[in-house]
Amino acid sequence: MAYFIDEGTIEEIKDRADIVSVISDYVDLKKVGANHKGLCPFHGEKTPSFTVSSSKGIYKCFGCGEGGNVINFVMKIENLSFPEACKKLGDTFGIKIESKGSYDEKEKKVYLREPE
């Protein structure tokens, strides 16, 4: 069962969770011009092609094509679902996660209750 996170909350996470500081916990990033670069955590490489743009709030690897926003990064690296990644970032940055309830993909129904 998926868990619905309020869209305003998602925007707030993208706004407040600094992508460079989040990714720095996993990747040694160096500032190159306006961006940060490091060795991609998603594929083996010796020359950094993993680029993080703090102004755009996105990351992109030009080696394996992996890319996305701060929430996508946490999902991928921690192997979390979207709402779990939102909660983790919310905890780190002190953002209250507003949820609309949970969404059952099979039943196509929204349940206004937190899943156990």
Among 1, 2, 64, 110, contact with Zn ion (rule: CB under 5 A): 64
Minimum CB–partner distance for residue 108 and Zn ion (Å): 35
Query: How many chain residues are in contact with Zn ion, going by CB under 5 A?
Result: 6
Give whole-number Cα distances, 99 to 14, 90, 106, 107, in Å: 16, 12, 19, 19
> Cα separation of 2 and 100, whole Å?
11
The reply to whether 103 sits near Zn ion by the rule CB under 5 A is: no
The tokens for 68 are 């996305």
Among 14, 39, 63, 72, contact with Zn ion (rule: CB under 5 A): 63
Closest CA to 3 of 105, 96, 107: 105
Phi, then psi, of 102 in degrees rounded to 5: -110, 155
Site string for Zn ion, 16-55 (x = CB under 5 A): ------------------------x-xx------------
Q: Which is nearer to Zn ion, 32 or 64 (CB)?
A: 64
Among 61, 70, 86, 89, contact with Zn ion (rule: CB under 5 A): 61
> Cα separation of 112 and 48, whole Å?
44
**Contacts with Zn ion, residue ranges (CB under 5 A):** 40, 42-43, 61, 63-64
